[in-house]
Structure 1
Amino acid sequence: MREALRGMTTRGRSFLAAAGAAALSAFILGEKDLLRVAILLAALPLLAAAYVGRSRYKLACTRSLEPGRAPVGSSARVVLRLENLSRLPTGTLLMEDRLPYALGSRPRVVLERLAANMASSVAYTVRADIRGRYPIGPLVIRLTDPFGLCELSRSFPSVDKLTVIPEVVALPAVRLAGEYAGSGESRARSVAVHGEDDAATREYRRGDDLRRVHWRSTARTGELMVRREEQPWEARATVVLDTRLYAHQGDGPAASFEWAVSAAASIAVHLRHAGYKLRLVTGTGVDLDAIEHGGEGAILDTLADVKLTQHGDLGGLVELVRRRTDGGLIIGLFGSLTVTEAEVLTGMRSHGATCIGFAIDSSTWINMTPGDRQEAERQHAATSLALVRSGWRSLPVKHSDSLAALWPATGRGSQGFAYRAPMAETVSGL
């Protein structure tokens, strides 16, 4: 009852205040009829509080998200299903689902009556322009009397998560260089002569299992031959994301870092659909193998949460990539680099890996004077050239560039970065 009295609405408190004023006036004026009015005014909110406080509804709530993983800028549908498990019908219910500010205002739905053992479903949509994981819930139900004099809140403990993933851009099909990697005996011969699914042969050695004897080769050579134990070659790729705070510019969804995250998601999805064994490495210490952790969904979920770090270290990123890299393809998405930092990235080229770097000129994400802009372009060109000298195929990226337009340059036989000196240097050189 105490909780019900604390839940008195403004209307109910006004009734009690009017009852007190009428009772005081009745004693002063000696009017018994006015006292009866005061009793009636006080009884109404008290009876409403007793009605609401004694209501013992058994309600069950389920929430579903359609879809549970939504791209940036798209909408998701939230469906709430409320079921009355008691034998008594409910009164008026006000439902409010709690949402973070980024998903919009809290939806409110009024249910006038829910019969015994009946259920009702309501739906609303949410939209997020910033990637991340957003809690939805808990659902709060406000119980009220028919006159709106008293109101109590009840909440369900369940909370669901909506994952807003980066924008994924469709990329054209391109035949990439350095896409195969593996291990085993005579891998080149195995693939070139027998194909990926077959095995090369060698002479029989004492202790070899006779079940490995390759009779066709034995008949052809006249010596006992056995199949080699080796791993087949496979398409491998590592996507590297630079998360250094000072290497990126801009704010919100239009920042250079968001371009890099969206590019990483697009490249990861494209390579997974092309059959690559994919690995994601970020400057925050993430080292995620797509096959071990649930495919491209795990990659997208990780990229939905990735943040910039103030104490990024390219040396540590290089060591993290080298730890498990065995050839194949490395695609890096880097913010602004110095020439020295570009030379540090040479360490990723281990085991004959092919390295393709998207060198983002983050200065194009902010306004600069013409003189500062020319100096920034010169420094970025020098950095891209240093990447090329370090063995990378460098693809400069500016604010207006589209990943889909840049992607064909990553293919075999395409030209990488070509250094272009500023106009003033070209004239002086002539």
Structure 2
Amino acid sequence: MRRLWPLTARGTGAAVLAVACFVVANEVGIVELMYFGLLLVAVLAASILSLYLTRRSDTVTRSLSPDVAAVGRESLVTVRVGVRTALPTAPGTWRDTIPRGLAAQARGVFPALGSGLRGAERVVQFSYVVTGERRGIHPLGPLQVTTSDPFGLARRTTVFGERTPVTVAPAVTDLPALSDFAGEAGGTLHTTNNQLGQGADNLIARPYAPGDSMRRIHWRATAHRDELMVRQEEQESTPEATVVIDRGVLRFSPEAMQAPGADAGFEAAVSACVSVVTRLVHDGYAVEVIDSDGTPLAERIDGGDMSEVEGLVNSFAGLTARRDDHLGKLPRVFAGMMTGPVVLIVGRFDPADADTVAPVVHHSTLPLLLAVAPVGDALERAADRGWHAAAVDPDGDLAVAWSSAAQRGISHVLR
């Protein structure tokens, strides 16, 4: 906040003393007090002029490491201030304005600078740590620098209006792997094989058929079987997974549609979405992220491509809820197809919703349901329909909910 009163406590005391000298000199008739009061006024005026008549140009740039902050994570902010001043300046203080979505102790000492009439612009650099508190894009700044004259009688606060947008991505929780699943439910670490027999090194042998290349003859198998055998490569398929986040505002609160980070329930859903995608891609799944009506929210991410996951997490910094409720359209999205795990993330979830999404179960090798605000026996009814469901507490541990749903999923896959 800019200070309207330009004097420090010392300067204010000097001004009061000057007024007192004038009053006493007028009442008592001591001329020396009048001179002393005039001297104090002259010193105060010179102090103010030394601050406000000094020409200076300042540029402010900020950089973050890492470039994108995250909820609950720390980032280092480096501020560079380019200064050119005609007269030497005394040391002062600096304070950077921190928006609501970030937390930091952004203040410190601004060093003294010598005259820059014959020199180039000097750069003052300082840094501080900022912590993401609310998802979204927040303007960091402006920077305020307060300096005083050499006598400490007057102060000047200069506000540099440059602001730096800081992207705060949703929090990513480290989830346990689906290591107990096989085939399409277990990622490329357990890649499915469409094979016609047994073999090694992704090669199997089959009887020779007219048209087969002689270069593919498997001589050892031919000698063992006493008939001409050829090599046939196993056909490996990359398992796929789909993560669905239902953004209907009716399942959260109106604040979820106004700005990122405004509704705790929607934040829990977004964090669960990016955490699940991170886990599945790390495990080797090719993952699609869609809304409940089938609208893609990101490009398909290939298994193991963690750079694309980082891009997805950053893009979800500005994700908000939407007005329409399309959860009832979800069964049509999966109609006529069969896929790997389907992870459905919803806000409010009642028993009627469990009946609505029940058909999706028959199109997935592992249907997982994470509900932020389940109503009544909705999760139990969903489990009866074949879902492996768990509640996600905005203040709880997402990894516990994920593990709970996954462990229930083991019995479903192995049946």
TM-score by length of 1: 0.65
Q: Which residue of 2 aligns with 1:289?
A: 299
Residue type at the aligned position of 2:298: L
Residue type at the aligned position of 1:288: A
- Compute the displacement of 1:355 (Å): 5.7
Instruction: Measure the CA separation in 2 of the matches of 1:417 and 1:380.
Output: 21
SS at match of 2:34: helix
Q: Which residue of 2 aligns with 1:74?
A: 73
Tell me if structure 1 keeps the 8 A contact 2:102–2:130.
yes
SS at match of 1:288: coil
Q: Deviations over 1:235-267 (max 9, x none)?
A: 433211234456469x99995554433332221
Q: Which residue of 1 aligns with 2:96?
A: 97
Is 1:279 the equivalent of 2:288? yes
- Compute the displacement of 1:234 (Å): 4.4
Equivalent of 2:344 in 323, 328, 332: 332
- Compute the displacement of 1:53 (Å): 1.2
Provide closer, same or farther for how the CA distance between residues 312 and 179 of structure 1 changes in structure 2, counting only shifts above 3 A.
same
Q: Which residue of 2 aligns with 1:358?
A: 369
Provide closer, same or farther for how the CA distance between residues 273 and 90 of structure 1 changes in structure 2, counting only shifts above 3 A.
farther
Provide closer, same or farther for how the CA distance between residues 65 and 39 of structure 1 changes in structure 2, counting only shifts above 3 A.
same
Number of residue pairs matched by the alignment: 359
Mapping 1:195-274, distance limit 5 Å: 216=213, 234-244=238-248, 247=251, 257-274=266-283
Q: Deviations over 1:276-311 (max 9, x none)?
A: 333323469772225599711232124444445675
Q: Which residue of 2 aligns with 1:171?
A: 176
Tell me if structure 1 keeps the 8 A contact 2:388–2:408.
no
Provide closer, same or farther for how the CA distance between residues 404 and 353 of structure 1 changes in structure 2, counting only shifts above 3 A.
closer
Q: Which residue of 1 aligns with 2:311?
A: 298
- Compute the displacement of 1:26 (Å): 3.0
Identity %: 20
Instruction: Measure the CA separation in 2 of the matches of 1:309 and 1:417.
Output: 38
Is 1:397 the equivalent of 2:409? no
- Compute the displacement of 1:125 (Å): 1.7
Q: Which residue of 1 aligns with 2:25?
A: 26
Instruction: Measure the CA separation in 1 of the matches of 2:328 and 2:14.
Output: 72
Instruction: Measure the CA separation in 2 of the matches of 1:254 and 1:276.
Output: 30
Mapping 1:318-329, distance limit 5 Å: 327=339, 329=341
Q: Deviations over 1:30-54 (max 9, x none)?
A: 3322221221221122111211112
Q: Which residue of 1 aligns with 2:412?
A: 415
Provide closer, same or farther for how the CA distance between residues 379 and 353 of structure 1 changes in structure 2, counting only shifts above 3 A.
closer
Moved more, 289-298 or 261-270: 289-298
Tell me if structure 2 keeps the 8 A contact 1:338–1:383.
no
Moved more, 44-53 or 269-278: 269-278
Q: Which residue of 1 aligns with 2:356?
A: 344
Provide closer, same or farther for how the CA distance between residues 50 and 163 of structure 1 changes in structure 2, counting only shifts above 3 A.
same
Residue type at the aligned position of 2:58: L
Residue type at the aligned position of 2:327: L
- Compute the displacement of 1:314 (Å): 1.5
Provide closer, same or farther for how the CA distance between residues 134 and 381 of structure 1 changes in structure 2, counting only shifts above 3 A.
same
Structure 1 gap segments, 5+ residues each: 181-189, 194-213, 221-231, 364-375, 419-430
- Compute the displacement of 1:322 (Å): 6.0
Instruction: Measure the CA separation in 2 of the matches of 1:254 and 1:154.
Output: 33
- Compute the displacement of 1:77 (Å): 2.0
Provide closer, same or farther for how the CA distance between residues 90 and 312 of structure 1 changes in structure 2, counting only shifts above 3 A.
farther
Provide closer, same or farther for how the CA distance between residues 404 and 349 of structure 1 changes in structure 2, counting only shifts above 3 A.
closer
Instruction: Measure the CA separation in 1 of the matches of 2:331 and 2:12.
Output: 67
Q: Which residue of 1 aligns with 2:58?
A: 59
SS at match of 1:289: coil
Tell me if structure 1 keeps the 8 A contact 2:58–2:160.
no
- Compute the displacement of 1:148 (Å): 4.0
SS at match of 2:390: strand
Tell me if structure 2 keeps the 8 A contact 1:334–1:359.
yes
Provide closer, same or farther for how the CA distance between residues 263 and 155 of structure 1 changes in structure 2, counting only shifts above 3 A.
same
- Compute the displacement of 1:360 (Å): 2.8
Q: Report the structure, 1 or 2, having the larger strand content.
A: 2
Tell me if structure 2 keeps the 8 A contact 1:385–1:417.
no
Tell me if structure 2 keeps the 8 A contact 1:394–1:417.
no
Q: Which residue of 1 aligns with 2:163?
A: 158
Tell me if structure 1 keeps the 8 A contact 2:358–2:382.
no
Provide closer, same or farther for how the CA distance between residues 404 and 314 of structure 1 changes in structure 2, counting only shifts above 3 A.
closer
Q: Which residue of 1 aligns with 2:145?
A: 141
Provide closer, same or farther for how the CA distance between residues 344 and 178 of structure 1 changes in structure 2, counting only shifts above 3 A.
farther
Tell me if structure 2 keeps the 8 A contact 1:136–1:162.
no
Residue type at the aligned position of 1:144: S
Structure 2 gap segments, 5+ residues each: 187-192, 197-210, 218-235
Tell me if structure 2 keeps the 8 A contact 1:359–1:384.
no
Instruction: Measure the CA separation in 1 of the matches of 2:367 and 2:339.
Output: 13
Tell me if structure 1 keeps the 8 A contact 2:146–2:155.
no
Instruction: Measure the CA separation in 2 of the matches of 1:80 and 1:257.
Output: 33
Residue type at the aligned position of 2:274: A
- Compute the displacement of 1:97 (Å): 0.7
Instruction: Measure the CA separation in 2 of the matches of 1:148 and 1:315.
Output: 70
Residue type at the aligned position of 1:299: L
Instruction: Measure the CA separation in 2 of the matches of 1:95 and 1:118.
Output: 16
Instruction: Measure the CA separation in 1 of the matches of 2:392 and 2:94.
Output: 48
